[in-house]
């Protein structure tokens, strides 16, 4: 890969953090340091997600050194000044005022507009986001793992725009994931594990942020439903064990999600074997033939000449059709989820786990095939004859896909 990713971000940030960068035409800074009342400075909402711990320590450092680095501001449409860099310094000065450490509210400030050399790729607001996030990456501001994951999710679409723009210009090559990981200064595996945290339940996130679950174990949990994740954690904790990758893997093999409500069984309803005896097709019989009992002749008369009344097929009501379509929608969703999990490249995924997901995908496809009673009028070789998947041109399958989309 051409080494443009990190240098590109450095170039963007330097232009917005160092005076005198850029030509006279694109330089939009006012480098004069002006003392302003700290109460008049507007905090930037983009910084609300960051931890603002240790403000007291920063206030004490300012008290000892009598030095405050200038707070960088931008002019808002209504004329007020919003902070783009220096939120902790603002809070430290407010802390000093509230605790009697000083009675002077003035702080040094510099008004500087954001320079965006990539207006064709990203907006000024997105450039501002990068200028808030990346300088903070050095300090980290005591970010929790879930906060760091949210930060990655925030800047990922912006970096993707820059990547597409640079790649179209021929300045970079290679795939986006290594490009993005390089910009963040982490490995691709680390990036994958951090992004997996967004897929876990809120309860699991609390455990991760508390240091009770590692990012590696969280990545293993991310492939499960959130309800299953919580059950796995509870089971491991109940045994007094640490939540490790191996513990999660072992528990995943035996965890069972309880169903909401059991389906009531009506005693008067015929069993599947009885239905077979009456000539009806077994639910999961691959042949889908009109099977008849060996004691019943083709004309519906048995050996004792007693006429067996044919089973009357009831007309499907609108409610029946809606229920079937709902069920098909759920099955299609499960199929997509299973295929996605099968395709996800996970460093810790074993061959056995891959085989398990392959089997699950096949079973779901079998169920869809049985639900789909009306095949194409014009059968196509690829989706009808050469595989056991439900025909994608059939009416029911199209309806299910449409509802799912």
In this structure, what token pair is assigned to residue 168?
């179209």
Euclidean distance between CA atoms 257 and 278, whole angstroms:
36
By C-alpha distance, which of 292, 295, 296, 294 is closest to 276? 292
The overall pTM is greater than 0.75? no
Tens-place pLDDT, residues 144-160: 899 889 989 999 999 99
Tens-place pLDDT, residues 79-121: 999 998 888 899 999 999 999 999 999 999 999 888 888 889 9
Three-state DSSP class for 183? Answer: helix
Euclidean distance between CA atoms 70 and 36, whole angstroms:
10
Euclidean distance between CA atoms 22 and 14, whole angstroms:
10
pLDDT mean over 305-309 = 53
Tens-place pLDDT, residues 220-237: 999 888 999 999 999 999
Instruction: Please say if the pLDDT value at position 47 is more than 50.
Output: yes
pLDDT band at 281 (very low <50, low <70, confident <90, very high): very low
The DSSP element (H or E) to which 397 belongs, if any, is helix 395-404
- Cα torsion through 383, 388, 389, 390, rounded to 10: 80
């Amino acid at each position: 890969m051409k080494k443009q990713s990190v240098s590109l971000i450095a170039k963007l940030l330097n232009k917005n953090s160092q005076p005198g960068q850029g030509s006279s035409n694109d330089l939009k800074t006012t480098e004069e340091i002006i003392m302003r009342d700290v109460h008049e400075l507007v905090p930037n909402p983009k910084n609300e997600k960051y931890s603002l711990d240790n403000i007291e320590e920063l206030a004490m450092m300012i008290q000892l050194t009598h030095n405050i680095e200038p707070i960088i501001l931008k002019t808002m449409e209504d004329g007020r000044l919003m902070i783009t860099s220096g939120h902790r310094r603002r809070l430290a000065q407010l802390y000093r005022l509230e605790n009697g450490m000083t009675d002077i509210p003035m702080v040094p400030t510099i008004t500087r507009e954001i320079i965006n050399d990539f207006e064709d790729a990203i907006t000024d607001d997105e450039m501002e986001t990068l200028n808030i996030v990346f300088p903070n990456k050095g300090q980290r501001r005591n970010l929790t793992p879930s906060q760091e994951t949210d930060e990655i999710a925030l800047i990922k679409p912006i970096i993707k725009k820059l990547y597409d723009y640079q790649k179209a210009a021929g300045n970079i090559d290679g795939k986006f994931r290594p490009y993005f990981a390089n910009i963040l200064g982490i490995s691709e595996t680390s990036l994958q594990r951090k992004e997996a945290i967004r897929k876990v339940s809120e309860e699991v996130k609390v455990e991760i942020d508390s240091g009770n679950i590692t990012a590696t174990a969280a990545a293993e949990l991310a492939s499960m439903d959130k309800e299953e994740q919580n059950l796995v954690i509870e089971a491991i904790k109940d045994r007094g064990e640490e939540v490790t990758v191996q513990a999660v893997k072992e528990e995943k093999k035996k965890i069972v999600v309880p169903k909401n409500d059991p389906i009531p069984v009506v005693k008067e309803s015929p069993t599947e074997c009885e239905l077979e005896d009456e000539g009806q097709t077994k639910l999961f019989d691959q042949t889908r033939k009109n099977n008849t009992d060996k004691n019943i002749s083709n004309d519906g008369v048995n050996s004792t000449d007693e006429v067996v009344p044919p089973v009357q097929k009831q007309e499907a009501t609108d409610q029946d059709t809606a229920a079937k379509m709902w069920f098909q929608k759920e099955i299609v969703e499960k199929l997509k989820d299973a295929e996605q999990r099968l395709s996800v490249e996970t460093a810790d995924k074993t061959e056995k786990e891959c085989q398990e997901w392959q089997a699950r995908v096949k079973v779901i496809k079998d169920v869809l095939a049985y639900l789909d009673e009306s095949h194409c009028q014009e059968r196509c070789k690829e989706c009808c004859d050469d595989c056991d998947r439900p025909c994608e041109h059939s009416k029911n399958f199209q309806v299910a896909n449409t509802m799912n989309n």
